[in-house]
Amino acid sequence: KSWSPGRARHINASRRACLVARFGFIYAQERFDAETLLRTYISDVEMVQRIIYTAAVESFYAAKMAYWKFKIHVKEALSLRHSGPESLEDAVLDYIVCHKDEYDVHGSVKEVIRSMNINPKISFPPEIDFIVLSTLIQELCCLAFSMQTLIPPLDVAFGIDGELFNESKYYRSPDSDFTAAFVAYHVWPALVEDGVVIVKGEVVTKR
């Protein structure tokens, strides 16, 4: 196939737009579905929202780690036979984009659930397990993995309870205290590109 920097940039922009839209759809629909499911087991809305936020953040972390390992493996394999016209780094990226199905997403889902099980801020009733969120986690892991193939890659912003509310980074949930200056907890992470927020997250602010 023909390859050029211009073509690569166009494809990158198209994939970026699709992946950002997918992030928005997961927030609007699949997060809501997961919340509805959890509320059949847990009456505490704050705990439900904390669980889903944690699942989102952990999914991005697990997918980024998996991408890093996968990239090293591909680079080692391609370096033995690579010969232009694009650089080895571009060839590696091209291979990963075309072979995303080789990503062991189920391994990442297990990693996410393992991390959630030892997170002190969230808990489940003993009769159920975080595995009920497997569908949402798998979707997020696949999305996060694909977002690592963009130039620059996309990631979720780091959030911490008690941080100062930043309206360029977050929306307030409807049940927030709109006069409160600090974040009580996070509902959904912001999406960032090179440290700049491109999709706002959601938080609850309280005094």
- The string of pLDDT tens digits covering residues 37-49 is 999 999 999 999 9
Asked if residue 54 is part of any domain, the answer here is yes
Asked if residue 174 is part of any domain, the answer here is no
Query: What's the structural domain count of the chain?
Result: 1
Asked if residue 202 is part of any domain, the answer here is no
Please provide the DSSP assignment of 141-197 as one string.
Answer: HHHHHHHTTSSSPEEEPP--TTPBP-TTTEEEPTTS-TT--BEEEEEEPPEEETTEE
Asked if residue 98 is part of any domain, the answer here is yes
Query: Which of 42-56, 63-77, 167-181, 190-204 bottoms out in mean pLDDT, i.e. has the lowest?
Result: 63-77
Range of the domain at 13: 5-153
- Residue 111 one-letter amino acid: E
Instruction: Note whether 79 and 92 are within 8 A (CB).
Output: no
CA atoms within 13 A on the CB side of 109: 17
pLDDT above 90 (res 7):
no
Q: What is the 3-state secondary structure (H, E, C) of 62-100?
A: HHHHHHHHHHHHHHHHHHCCCCCCCCHHHHHHHHHHHCH
How large a percentage of the chain has pLDDT more than 70?
Answer: 86
Asked if residue 120 is part of any domain, the answer here is yes
Asked if residue 190 is part of any domain, the answer here is no
Instruction: Note whether 105 and 141 are within 8 A (CB).
Output: yes
Burial of 168 (0-12, 13-18, 19+ CB in 10 A): exposed
Provide the pLDDT for residue 96: 66
How large a percentage of the chain has pLDDT more than 90?
Answer: 69
- Partnered with residue 71 across adjacent β-strands are none
pLDDT above 80 (res 80):
no
Report d(CA 176, CA 185) in Å as an integer. Answer: 10
Asked if residue 159 is part of any domain, the answer here is no
Q: Which candidate, 204, 206, 120, places its Cα nearest to that of 170?
A: 204
Q: State pTM to two decimals.
A: 0.88
Asked if residue 41 is part of any domain, the answer here is yes
- The string of pLDDT tens digits covering residues 94-138 is 776 767 777 899 999 999 999 999 999 998 888 778 999 999 999
Angle, helices 5-25/134-147, rounded to nearest 10 degrees? 160
